[in-house]
Amino acid sequence: MKDSWNPAQYEKFKEERSQPFLDLLQTLQPLPPKATALDLGSGTGELTALFHNRFHPQTTVGLERSEAMLNKATPFQIGGLSFLQGDIETWSASKTYDVIISNAALQWCRDHKNLLARIKEALKDQGQIAIQMPMNHDYATHVLAKKMSEEPHWNKLLKGEVYDKYSALLTPEEYAHVLFNLGFKKQNVFLKVYGHVLSSREDVVEWVKGSLLTYFQSRLTPEDYENFIKEFKERLFKDLPDEKPFFYPFKRLFIWAQL
């Protein structure tokens, strides 16, 4: 499986993708002096640097799996901010932190109850978490992607894999319950719908090329991926109206909690 994350493709909608992170930072309480911070899934590093410069922890570490994303993050390594390559699914903390943040990354991981337990164990006393995850898996793009991955032709090319990344997501109520059981004394869990005004429905395809469709790009040959995109677009446009501008509602889940 190849690294299919493309920073240029992902940042085609940079402003729209950045706003939820800015909103996530609003949930954080002030950090203690000489705080330590961890960003799980730091991407290109730019938003991690924004957090680091705004909250001034003594050290911030960004964990990122994609080498292409890490290469973009290198220039931001200054003043206590550093990045390392690693997979959130297999990550195990070697130290504890005052705050752990994660923006649009944990939705790719399995077993969220266990994942949140590992995150909690990596927190210091009175430590905070601030997590944002897309919750748009019931939108036409994600429904179609899952359906196509189950169909014999594409499933064979995917070597029997089915796109079910969002099957690990819990409901907001379930996340709240998990946080309570883990011993978090304070929490705020909520859904927010972002209304993105795009030039046309073509932009929806460009959007998911930078996120959802990387799953297929990493598993298919370049030729098969191009054929997948062609069929995906044709079938998707049967469900999405041909409107200009195009209104693209996007749900996101926010989790803030403190021990």
Spans of all domains in the chain: 7-258
Mean local confidence (pLDDT), 175-191: 98
Closest C-alpha to 201, from 223, 232, 164: 232
Strands 186-198 and 81-85, by their bridges, are: unpaired
Topology given in CATH for the domain delimited by 7-258: Rossmann fold (3.40.50)
Of the pLDDT bands very low, low, confident and very high (cuts 50, 70, 90), residue 168 is confident
* Residue among 42, 37, 103, 29 at smallest CA distance from 257: 29
Mind listing the pLDDT tens digit for each residue in 16-67?
Answer: 878 999 999 999 999 999 999 999 999 999 999 999 999 999 999 999 998 9
155-177 core/surface letters (b: 16 or more CB in 10 A; e: else): eebbeeeebebbeebeeeeebbe
What does the block give as tokens for 18?
A: 């950045």
pTM: 0.90
pLDDT grade for 5, boundaries at 50, 70 and 90: low
Percent of the chain with pLDDT over 90: 85
Q: How far apart are CA 72 and CA 70, in angstroms?
A: 5
124-150 pLDDT, tens digit each: 999 999 999 999 999 999 999 999 999
